[in-house]
Amino acid sequence: MAMGSPDAFGPLPGVDSPCCGFYLRNGDGTFGPYISVVDYTSNNITQFSPAFFLAADMTGDGKQDIIMGEGSIPGVFTLINTTTPVTVNLSPGSLGFGPQLIGVPSSVGNITLINTGNLPLTISSIGIKGANSGDFSQTTNCPDSVPVDSGCTIRVTFTPTAVGHRNAAATITDNAPNSPQSIRLSGIGEAGKSSNLALSVAPGGSSSATVAAGVMATYKLTIGGAGFSGTASLTCTGAPQAANCSFSSGATINVSASSATPFNVTVITTSRSMAALSPASTGSHSWLWTVALIGIVILPNAKRKECAAWRIIRLSPLLLLVLLGACGGGGGSTSTSPPGTPAGTYALTVTATSGSVNQSLPLTLTVQ
């Protein structure tokens, strides 16, 4: 057991009397509060002269206790435990973030909390208070009860909402005598234009969609909230045959520096069965209707007494048209690809552009 003298020993402040108390070092070149051992000014305490004081760890907690030998009563010793049952240490003493673009979150700053007392530290709340508390946010892994000599971390992020100096404090409320404890937070908001449009899939959305031909696919996206502000134009490429890609916001959208703006991308596909019945699919066979009409009009009006030779001559143009139609119209091709949106998987690309700043987001469309 290591034993020595108290850090400082002196009279009761303001009282002209023998030595009656002592001070303990804080470990940083300063002393803690005066600890009175005997108060000669009190009528409730029997006056005696302490013979000696010693400092030693008498309770096994790794901290000094004070042993006082009472000179007026030989053989009587008093153990004075000077350790506060619950104490907490926070570091650093303040947390500064420096300049930060408005609306852009900073890197995380850490505050370390350690229970330096003899009893568990019970935490009631951890929060941010102060003039610009909305510019700072915190998360923590601190439990409700921190064991002796254990610690945890408070993680703070600075996201300025205005230009200039921004100040607040991280506040911890607990069962320590000096509760609540506060750590000063500071940062500087700066105006500027980020190059990040923050084009992304909205929370709960998906970058892929599967639909049947003739059904509309919808993608939920967001843009903004990362420091850039302005107007962006939107384009969509990669849509399949007989499909159209469009935006709920139109071809342009306003981008906010501090918050994300939601919008939808829709891809309208075409049913293959409906497209097969469209007028365009029957246009190449219009000659059949013409020939049929000629036959209906001409043949009934032919003279019944015409000789067979004249009848053949009159029908020759009609027969020639039929032969030409059967051969594909004299060499022209009338075959077309299957109508409607073909089945398959397609890679779409949505691009947002504002001046020299642009960002693309890939989407996937599967048509069945």
Residue 147 belongs to a domain with what CATH number?
A: 2.60.40.10
Q: Are residues 138 and 245 in the same domain?
A: no
Shared-domain flag, residues 221 and 347? yes
* 158 and 69 in a common domain: no
pLDDT at 72: 54
Q: Using the 3D structure, point to which of 80, 96, 122 is the last residue of a domain.
A: 80
* 155 neighbors 108 (Cβ within 8 angstroms): yes
pLDDT, tens digit (0-9, with 9 covering 90-100), for 185-196: 999 998 766 678
Q: Return the higher-pLDDT residue of 80 and 271.
A: 271
pTM score, whole prediction: 0.40
| C-alpha–C-alpha distance, residues 233 and 353, integer Å | 5
**What pLDDT, on the 0 to 100 scale, is given for residue 321?**
58
Query: Which pLDDT score, from 0 to 100, does residue 15 have?
Result: 46
Compute the distance between CA of residue 160 and CA of residue 157 in angstroms, rounded to an integer.
10
Please check whether residue 289 lies inside any domain of the structure.
no
Q: In this structure, what are the phi and psi dihedrals at residue 305, rounded to the nearest 5 degrees?
A: -95, 5
| Alpha-carbon distances, residue 182 vs 78, 93, 103, 123, 172 (angstroms) | 37, 9, 25, 13, 6
Higher pLDDT, 285 or 274: 274
Residues 6+ apart with CB under 8 A from 284: 334, 336
Residues 177 and 242 in one domain: no
Query: Please, what is the average pLDDT of the chain?
Result: 77
Range of the domain at 39: 3-80
Of the candidates 212, 249, 201, 224, the one whose C-alpha atom is nearest the C-alpha of residue 348 is 201
12 has a pLDDT exceeding 60: no
Strands, E assignment, 144-283: 145-146, 151-158, 164-174, 181-190, 200-201, 208-211, 216-223, 230-237, 244-247, 252-255, 261-268
Burial class of residue 234, CB neighbours in 10 A (0-12, 13-18, 19+):
buried
**Residue 333 placed within a domain:** no
The model's pLDDT over 348-360, given as tens digits with 9 standing for 90+, comes to 999 999 988 899 9
**Predicted confidence band of residue 253 (pLDDT cuts 50, 70, 90):** very high
Residue 42, amino acid: S
- Residue 151 bridge partners (DSSP): 114
Residue length, the chain? Answer: 368
The verdict on residue 318 lying in a domain is no
Q: Which helix (H) or strand (E) holds 316?
A: helix 308-326
Q: Which residues pair with 267 in a beta bridge?
A: 217, 245
Long-range contacts of 247-254 (CB under 8 A, 24+ apart): 253/223, 253/352, 254/230
Give 52's contacts (C-beta < 8 A, 6+ positions apart).
68, 69
User: Which residues, in sequence order, are bridge partners of residue 77?
Assistant: 69
Give the separation between CA 139 and CA 126, rounded to whole angstroms: 9
**Residue 291 domain-assigned (yes or no):** no
How many domains does the chain fold into?
3
Tokens of 366: 């599967």
% of the chain exceeding 90 in pLDDT: 47
Q: Does 295 map to a domain?
A: no
- Please tell me whether residues 69 and 34 are part of one structural domain: yes
Tokens of 208: 């892929």
When pLDDT is cut at 50, 70 and 90, the band that residue 293 belongs to is low
Does 362 share its domain with 236?
A: yes
240 and 349 both lie in a single domain: yes
Q: How confident is the model at residue 113 (pLDDT cuts 50, 70, 90)?
A: very high
Answer whether 359's CB lies under 8 Å from 242's CB: no
Tokens representing residue 287 in the block: 């000659």
Domain end (from 130, 161, 190):
190
Mean pLDDT of 239-247: 95
Least confident interval from 37-51, 112-126, 239-253: 37-51
316 CB contacts (<8 Å, ≥6 apart)? none
Q: Are residues 232 and 347 in the same domain?
A: yes
pLDDT at residue 52 is higher than 50: yes
Mark which of 137, 157, 190 sits at the end of a domain. 190
Lowest-pLDDT choice from 64-73, 117-126, 166-175, 322-331:
322-331
As a whole number of Å, the end-to-end CA separation of the chain is 82
- As a whole-number percent, the residues of the chain with pLDDT over 70 amount to 59
Q: Which pair of tokens denotes residue 21?
A: 């108390």
Interatomic CA distance for residues 58 and 294, integer angstroms: 123
